């Protein structure tokens, strides 16, 4: 598609794609959204900012309630490797999780309702820091949000594995509980030739990494999915120095809060064992924690049924994903659901080469405007 014939919200997605920013640093992104909103009919809108996020109320003609739609805003610390001529202009930062697509779709739906208001109020939530440290919970708790709290909430996430025109979701849990994991080990460094005078943190960290893998296989019910991944280990400075410090960084994913608590207990136990066994000190930091995305069963089934009936999309009932999404915090408080939007790309989320098929934007905007219109008329 040439630039001149671009769908306006594909164009907007491309502009947003060029300015990815990390969690709570979405200053240009926030300004971009505010500048865009300024071009629309002001009488129909009320706008608030919360940190680097934006809340937009589109006023209904005869509101009985408020229907909410959420898009996340942040990019990732990834060096982009796409073929785009509109690639990131921020070195080392990239929209590799589709938040540029999510925001463009939200602006498309919002624009439609400013021009064609419905009876109910609509709240558009542009939420920062989904990738970390988590913007949903503090935004939900903020006075700005609470005074506009919607009665219902929906969000989507791009899905590389599904073709354009397919949406996927399920009643109940869609995304996992997550907890980050940071373990620091501190022993005694020393000369490589004097192992008896040091506490070698290479051996301690290696043992710990291996032991941690037994938690999922030996302590968790095999029918209750869980993951413990150590993605980064930092140890040592030189080949002939026994290092006295090590850091393990990882993430825990579970489909139940009970399993999350159990895994954390076992990590504490194993770390205590390493302290004793290797005469070192250890500390654990759980970093950012996200609660599961638990779709309201009745609302999700109703949406799936409605979407299938429109004939415009193929609706798939999918399995849970072990990815995390802080949208789960909103759903703990507000009835609603999340769904996957097919964008058909061989590269997965968080991949430096991911190129979502932008035709999904043209599928999602009319689908969600029609759905919210239908929902408001109920």
Q: For the CB of residue 323, give the shortest distance to ligand L5K734KM in the complex, in Å.
A: 4
32 neighbors 75 (Cβ within 8 angstroms): no
Task: Say if residue 112 carries a ligand binding annotation.
Answer: no
Which lies closer to ligand L5K734KM via its Cβ, residue 120 or residue 325?
A: 325
Task: Say if residue 350 carries a ligand binding annotation.
Answer: yes
Which lies closer to ligand L5K734KM via its Cβ, residue 75 or residue 324?
A: 324
Which lies closer to ligand L5K734KM via its Cβ, residue 75 or residue 117?
A: 75
Cα dihedral sign for 158, 160, 164, 170?
negative
Q: For the CB of residue 155, give the shortest distance to ligand L5K734KM in the complex, in Å.
A: 11
Which lies closer to ligand L5K734KM via its Cβ, residue 104 or residue 155?
A: 155
d(CA 99, CA 105): 10
Q: For the CB of residue 175, give the shortest distance to ligand L5K734KM in the complex, in Å.
A: 7
Which member of 21, 26, 72, 325 is catalytic?
72
Which lies closer to ligand L5K734KM via its Cβ, residue 131 or residue 200?
A: 131
Q: For the CB of residue 63, give the shortest distance to ligand L5K734KM in the complex, in Å.
A: 32
d(CA 321, CA 161): 12
Q: For the CB of residue 38, give the shortest distance to ligand L5K734KM in the complex, in Å.
A: 31
User: Phi and psi (nearest 5°) for 341?
Assistant: -115, 115
Q: Which residues bind ligand L5K734KM (CB under 6 A)?
A: 97, 131-132, 178, 180, 251, 288, 290, 323-325, 349-350
Geometric angle at alpha carbon 101, from 19 and 333, rounded to 5°: 105
Which lies closer to ligand L5K734KM via its Cβ, residue 180 or residue 200?
A: 180
Tokens for 283? 């500390």
Our answer to whether residue 151 is catalytic in this structure is no
Rounded to 10°, the helix 297-310/359-377 angle is: 120
Cα dihedral sign for 358, 364, 365, 367?
positive
Which of these, 158, 154, 166, lies nearest to 98 by C-alpha position?
A: 158
Our answer to whether residue 302 is catalytic in this structure is no
d(CA 58, CA 122): 5
Q: For the CB of residue 203, give the shortest distance to ligand L5K734KM in the complex, in Å.
A: 27
Task: Say if residue 116 carries a ligand binding annotation.
Answer: no
Binding residues for Mn(2+), as ranges, are 97, 99, 131, 157, 350
Instruction: Give the residue numbers annotated as catalytic, written as ranges.
Output: 72, 131
């Amino acid at each position: 598609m040439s630039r001149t014939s671009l769908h306006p919200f594909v164009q907007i997605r491309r502009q947003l794609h060029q300015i990815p920013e990390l969690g709570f640093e979405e200053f240009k992104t926030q300004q971009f959204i505010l500048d865009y909103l300024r071009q629309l009919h002001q009488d129909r809108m009320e706008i608030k900012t919360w940190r680097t996020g934006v809340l937009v109320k589109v006023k209904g003609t005869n509101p009985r309630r408020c229907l909410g739609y959420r898009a996340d805003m942040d990019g990732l610390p990834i060096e982009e490797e796409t073929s785009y001529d509109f690639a990131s202009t921020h070195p080392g930062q990239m929209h590799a999780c589709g938040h540029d697509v999510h925001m463009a779709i939200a602006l498309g739906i919002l624009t439609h309702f400013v021009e064609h208001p419905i009876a109910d109020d609509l709240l558009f939530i542009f939420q920062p820091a989904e990738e970390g440290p988590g913007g949903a919970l503090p935004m939900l708790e903020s006075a700005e949000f609470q005074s506009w709290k919607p009665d219902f909430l929906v969000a989507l996430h791009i899905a590389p594995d599904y073709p354009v025109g397919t949406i996927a979701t399920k009643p109940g849990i869609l995304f996992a509980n997550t907890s980050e994991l940071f373990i620091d080990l501190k022993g005694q460094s020393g000369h490589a030739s004097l192992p008896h005078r040091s506490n070698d943190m290479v051996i301690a960290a290696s043992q710990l990494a291996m032991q941690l893998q037994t938690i999922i296989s030996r302590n968790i019910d095999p029918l209750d999915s869980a993951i413990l991944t150590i993605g980064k280990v930092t140890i040592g400075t030189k080949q002939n120095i026994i290092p006295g410090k090590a850091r393990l960084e990882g993430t825990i994913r579970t489909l139940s809060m009970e399993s999350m608590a159990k895994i954390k207990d076992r990590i504490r136990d194993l770390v205590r064992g390493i302290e004793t066994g290797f005469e070192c000190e250890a500390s654990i930091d759980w970093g950012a924690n996200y609660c599961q995305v638990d779709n309201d069963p009745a609302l999700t089934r109703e949406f799936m049924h409605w979407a299938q009936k429109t004939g415009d999309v193929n609706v798939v009932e999918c399995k849970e994903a072990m990815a995390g999404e802080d949208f789960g915090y909103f759903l703990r408080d507000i009835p609603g659901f999340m769904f996957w939007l097919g964008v058909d790309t061989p590269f997965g989320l968080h991949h430096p080469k991911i190129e979502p098929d932008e035709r999904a934007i043209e599928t999602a905007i009319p689908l969600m405007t029609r759905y919210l219109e239908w929902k408001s008329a109920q």
